[in-house]
Amino acid sequence: MNIIVCVKRVPETAEADLVIDKTGRDVIKSGLVFDLNEWDSYAIEEAIRLKEKKEGHVTVISMGGEEANESLRKCLAMGADDAVRLTDPAFEGADGYATAKVLAESIGKLPFDLILTGTQAEDDGYGQVGGALAELLGIPHATVVNQIEVEGKKLKVHRELEGGLEEILEIDLPALLTIQTGINEPRYVSIMGIRKVAKKEIKVLGAKDLTLVANETGLSGSDTRIEKISFPPTTGAVKMIEGNPEEVALNVLNILKNKGGLA
């Protein structure tokens, strides 16, 4: 089975103090720690498990600068066979749609049975690239997948819905799935493991290798653009909820409704 996995290298921001840069449209990246997007680590692990179960070939692909090599090598160390990096100044500033277009162009040349992406990226959280990519390639797709069974030329997949519910679908190959966290346990990649793949070639493609014209990629190929960014109104210190138990209860339930997706 030929599997292609699309991955992204993203900054870890949960514990970091973010500073808005001079453009006012992004944060200062220096000083941040980067890693493979969490959803993508589940996707690549799933691809490798599928390969280990039956014969197969896993290609990992990422749109990014040279630093994306770090995440691609992690995937190679986990067991991917080939890595491709899509790098070009023309790709910069891309939104979900522009990213999907570049991926579609590069993947279009490769043989594949299955494409896996993460459900979304930790940084921008569009949740868009997978679906858009499937549509551009003209293949069926399913998102938020947390279980995959291969049945010959089709797959039986589970999608994770809201409130503890799942749905089971059947989907014909070739197809694209966006993978949800928790589908498996991504394996650890040791330092020695990374060293072993340090010399492995990563194929690099630029705009000239694709048939897209300049205004179809990057910021000019995007349907949306960020005008500015800001910090949300500070929640800052903990908001204390006062009152007798009944008042407190009503207050808490309101919060649960607004933030927890309750009915």
Site for another protein in 67-96 (CB under 8 A): 78, 96
Site for another protein in 154-213 (CB under 8 A): 156, 158-172, 175, 178, 181-182, 185-195
- Report if residue 153 touches another protein, rule: CB under 8 A: no
| Both structure tokens of 72 | 């691609």
| Minimum distance of another protein from residue 85's CB (angstroms) | 21
Phi, psi for residue 181 in degrees, rounded to 5 = -65, 150
Kindly state the smallest distance separating residue 45's Cβ from another protein, in Å. Answer: 9
Cβ proximity to another protein, 88 vs 122, nearer residue:
122
CB 93 within 8 A of CB 218: yes
Question: What is the Cα Rg of the chain in Å?
Answer: 20
Q: Other CB atoms closer than 10 Å to residue 112's CB: what's the count?
A: 19
40 vs 122 by CB, closer to another protein: 122
Gap between the Cα atoms of 28 and 160, Å rounded = 35
Considering only the stretches 31-39, 50-58, 61-69, 81-89, report the one whose residues sit in contact with another protein under the rule CB under 8 A.
31-39
Which of 54, 152, 232, 234 contacts another protein by CB under 8 A?
A: 232
| Tokens read off for 9 | 């290298």
Number of residues that bind another protein (CB under 8 A): 102
Question: From the CB of 107, what's the least distance to another protein, in Å?
Answer: 15
Find all residues with CB under 8 Å of 11, minimum gap 6, and list them.
27, 29, 32, 33, 34, 123
- Report in angstroms how near the CB of residue 237 gets to another protein at its nearest: 9
29 binds another protein (CB under 8 A): no
Determine the Cα–Cα distance for residues 91 and 210; give it in Å rounded to an integer.
Answer: 11
Residue window 102-131: x/- pattern of binding to another protein, with contact defined by CB under 8 A: -----------------x--xxxxxxxxxx
Query: What is the nearest approach in angstroms of another protein to the Cβ of residue 207?
Result: 19
Q: Under DSSP, is residue 178 helix (H, G, I), strand (E, B) or coil?
A: strand
| Of residues 20 and 204, the one with the C-beta less far from another protein | 20
Nearer to another protein among residue 42 and residue 205 (C-beta): 42
Interface positions, 40-69, toward another protein (CB under 8 A)? none
Question: Strand, helix or coil at 80?
Answer: coil
Q: Which residues contact 152 (CB under 8 A, 6 or more apart)?
A: none
Please state, in angstroms and rounded to a whole number, the distance separating the CA atoms of residues 125 and 95: 11
Among 55, 151, 201, 223, binds another protein (CB under 8 A): 223
